[in-house]
Chains A and B, each alone.
Chain A
């Protein structure tokens, strides 16, 4: 019998599979897709420091290196935040395959074209998976199952997990070419008219190319409405061409606190391990997947994969990421209540570096202080403290 079955060969699944293989366990990773990394569901941004987790990312995985972010208030004024270590706009098509190769080199087996439809449960333990490989049904057993499917998986239904409508951002992104942008920065536009609750982004992918997208709270107006409107109002984008349409719904909160059961662990976006303010999930998925591997390694060594022992993952993840991301979620809860005028005023009151810190869940007291200047916003400020 295989030691660990992992469902999903994205950043979480491959990070987990690589580490478990390195630790000497037999690992099989299943993925629904024919080609890993496709279709792209995200803006493809990654903090350069993620390389501390996965090693040096090869050049062919990187579309563009950036210096930082320009964050635009609704009135068009922007704050320019330089990232100390820089940032990367990836080519997920290549990057995800590279991550998979790393796992394979470590000894993991990856099987694509495979839809996992259900789990095998025996005596209260998850013991395996049921699936279809090229339309042929099969069953496979393992000592431990990892669900790293991302949020849009049908498998989560077997676990009765779904993302709450008010805690996702509905996103649409165009891969555009022939546009005119400053490619040293990612560009983030805030405002209730620009992208309600979420934001509109331009992530450069070369001199005249970019991922241009909008993520918004589900409501009367969809992401496409905001994105098309923005492009129409910006000549430097309007003159370009849409090469590809991408998107999806990203969890921006509801950080799941209990993601283990007997013989089962859920990690990455499937567990809502995503940054709730910007929806960035690659780095969080890698951290979550690696941490899962550490805990599973201990459990397999002890020959005990009970929920009780696996719960160590809940504890460790919360300590390492959850509590920070909960702060970020509070930030999102506050930002979504601000009017355009409030956002404009904050842009005047805050320093660009503050914004980067906020997105990491730190220095929120600085924001609270700025909010306190308006009596109307005092209760929001308190929510941050």
Chain B
């Protein structure tokens, strides 16, 4: 069970931050991920316009 982001694809639009229901993501220079809050629901993965996020269950 993992959450990962490909920083070569990510262009820091923050789309994932706006949809995360668990406040596990934050936009700074990169996307900051809080594994304590993440439930691996996969919503961020679906919202990303460039598929930079991968969630595996």
Contacts and interface: CB of A to CB of B under 8 A. Distances in A.
A168 B11 contact: no
A83 interface: no
B33 to A, nearest CB: 12
Given A152-B13, A223-B49, A224-B51, A162 B26 contact: no
Contacts of B48: 170, 222
Contact of A168 (B19, B26, B51): B19
Contacts of B46: 165, 170, 218-219
Contact of B49 (A152, A156, A163, A171): A171
Interface in B1-22: 11-21
Given A165-B46, A222-B50, A152 B18 contact: yes
Interface residues of B, number: 23
Interface residues of A, number: 28
B43 to A, nearest CB: 5
B50 A249 contact: no
A172 B13 CA distance: 9
Given A170-B49, A218-B46, A223-B50, A115 B28 contact: yes
A295 B26 CA distance: 31
A154 interface: yes
27 contacts: A39-B13, A115-B28, A153-B14, A153-B18, A157-B23, A162-B20, A163-B18, A165-B43, A165-B47, A168-B19, A168-B47, A170-B46, A170-B47, A170-B48, A222-B51, A223-B49, A224-B50, A224-B51, A245-B11, A246-B13, A247-B13, A247-B49, A248-B49, A249-B13, A249-B15, A249-B19, A249-B49
Interface of B: 11-21, 23, 25-28, 43, 46-51
